[in-house]
Amino acid sequence: MSRPEENGAVAIFLNQVCSHVRAKELHPEIREELSSHIVEQMEMLQENGMSVEAAAAEAICQMGDPALIGRNFHQAHKPVMEWKLVVILALMALIGIFGVFTAQESGMYPQFGTSLIERKVLFTLLGLAFLVGFYFVDYCKLQKYSGVLFFGALVLMAYAYFAEIDINGRRVFLVFGPFSINAMAASLPVLLFALAGMKPAKEWRGGWEYLIQLVYRGILPIMLFVQSSSWFYGLIYLIGFLLLTWVTKKNTPQFLVLILPLLSLYILVLTRVGQLQHRLQAFLYPTSDDSYQIIQTKAAIVSAGWFGHGFAAQLDTLPYVYSDSLFPYLIYCFGWGSGILITGLVICFIIRFWKMNVLIQDVYAKRIMLGWMAVYAIRMLWPILMAFGIVPIVGEVLPFIGYSGMMQVVDFAAAGLLLSLFRRKNMIPGEIENPSLHPN
C-alpha cells in the first residue's frame, strides 16, 4: 500500500490533528502513529471489497474527531511548569534582597552607601530575565555542542588564571567593564552540563581512549580548580564527574580504573595546599587560634535566641555578612526561626530537584540534573552546615540568597534551564503516548 499521507483525505486529517499540538517536534511521530492505525483499518476494509478512497474515508471516520484527538495529544504532551520550584526560588530571591538590605542598613559597610542593595536588586532582576530566557531553550539542541561547551569552559578557566587579574588575592575573575565574575564558579555548571552530553564511558574503546578521557575530562579541570585555589569547586566537580561516570559506565571495574587515580591525585594535591591545611586545622581543632571565625559564628547563632537582636543589628565579628556570612547574620538579627525558614527552603529545593529528576524520562536530561544536583546540593547545604561548624569554612555564598554579583545571574540561568528540562518532559520524540487512538 502507498503511504497513507498521499491520500488527500488522510493528509487533511493528519494536518487537522497536528494543528492542535503545539509541540511541533512531536508532529512526525503523531503522523506516523495515526497513519499506522489508519492503514490497519484501510486494509481490513479493502479486504471486504471497499475501494481505496472509500476505505480511507471510512477509516478516518472511525478514528473520530481530529480536533478532539489533537487536543488530547496536546493535553498529554503540552509544556509543564514546575511551579513549586518557582515559588521556592522567588522566596529565596526575596529573602536575599531583604537580607542584603538589612546588612546595608546596619551601617557596617558605609563605603558601599546604597550600592549594595541596588546591585543586589539589579543582579536579581537580570538573573530572572535569564531564567525566563533559558526556560524556553530547547536543551536537546545543545547536546551536539557539548564538546565545544566543555572546551570553552576550560579555556575561560585557564584564561582567568593566567590573565593574573587579582581580586581579593585570587586569580579567578573575568572582568567585563564594571562587572566581574568568578570564572571557576561559573564554569562548574557549564562543565557538568557539557559532560552530560559527551560520549558516555561505556562507549570508550581501548586503554588510550580511557587515558585521554580521564586526563581531559577529569584531571585537567580539577588541576585548574586546585591551581586557582578553588579546591571547593574542584571537589564538587569531582563528585559530579564520578556520578556521571557511574551512570554511563560499562561495568564496575571500568569505573574503579577511572576514579581511583583521580581520587588519589586530588587527595595528594590537597595535602600540599597550605590554605586548606589551615582551614582543616580550624575545623578539626575548634578551640585553636585558627578557629576564630567558627567560634564567632556559633556565638552569634547561640546569642540570637528565638527573637534575634532586631533589624540591622551590628555584628562586627563576622566577615562579609552580606554574602559569605549572610545566613548566620540573618539568624543573629531575626532569631532561630529565620534559620529554620532558610534551611527549610533549601531542603525543599533539593527535594523538588530530586523529584523532577525522577519524573523526567529523557536520559540526557537525567544526566544533566544528576550533575547539577551535585553542584547545587553541595553549594546550598555547605554554607548552612558551615555556620554550625559541621564542615570546614570556605568562601561560599548561599545561592539565590547571598550577594554573589554576576554569579547570581549564572545561578538563575541554570535554574531556568532546569525548568526547561521539566517543561519538555512530555515533549521528547520517541516517548510519545497515545491518549485517544482507539477507533470508535
Q: What is the mean pLDDT of the chain?
A: 86
Task: Name residue 292's amino acid.
Answer: Y
Q: Are 424 and 416 in contact (CB under 8 A)?
A: no
What integer pLDDT is reported at residue 293 of this predicted model?
A: 84
My answer on whether 44 and 189 are in the same domain is no
Beta bridge partners of 174: 181
Domain containing 362 equals 83-423
Q: Provide the domain count of the chain.
A: 2
Residue 428 lies in a domain: no
CA distances from 112 to 108, 158, 193 (A): 10, 31, 36
Residue 436 lies in a domain: no
My answer on whether 89 and 72 are in the same domain is no
What integer pLDDT is reported at residue 167 of this predicted model?
A: 67
pTM of the full predicted structure? 0.85
My answer on whether 190 and 92 are in the same domain is yes
pLDDT average, residue stretch 331-360: 96
What integer pLDDT is reported at residue 439 of this predicted model?
A: 39
Beta bridge partners of 261: none
What integer pLDDT is reported at residue 311 of this predicted model?
A: 95
My answer on whether 108 and 199 are in the same domain is yes
My answer on whether 69 and 89 are in the same domain is no
Query: Among 300, 398, 394, 299, which residue's Cα sits nearest to residue 345?
Result: 398
My answer on whether 231 and 107 are in the same domain is yes
My answer on whether 94 and 237 are in the same domain is yes
Dump pLDDT digits (tens) for 70-118.
787 777 777 788 999 999 999 999 999 999 999 999 989 888 888 899 9
My answer on whether 281 and 332 are in the same domain is yes
The single residue listed with the C-alpha cell 528565638 is: 306
What integer pLDDT is reported at residue 440 of this predicted model?
A: 39
Q: Where are the alpha helices (DSSP H) in 251-308?
A: 252-270, 274-284, 292-304
Taking the alpha carbons at both ends of the chain, their separation in whole angstroms is 23
Residue 42 lies in a domain: yes
My answer on whether 232 and 349 are in the same domain is yes
Domain end, chosen from 31, 61, 77, is at 77
Residue 434 lies in a domain: no
CA 24 to CA 29: how far, in whole Å?
10
Buried/exposed 215-246: b ≥16 CB within 10 Å, e otherwise: eebbeebbebbbbbbbbbbbbbbbbbbbbbbe
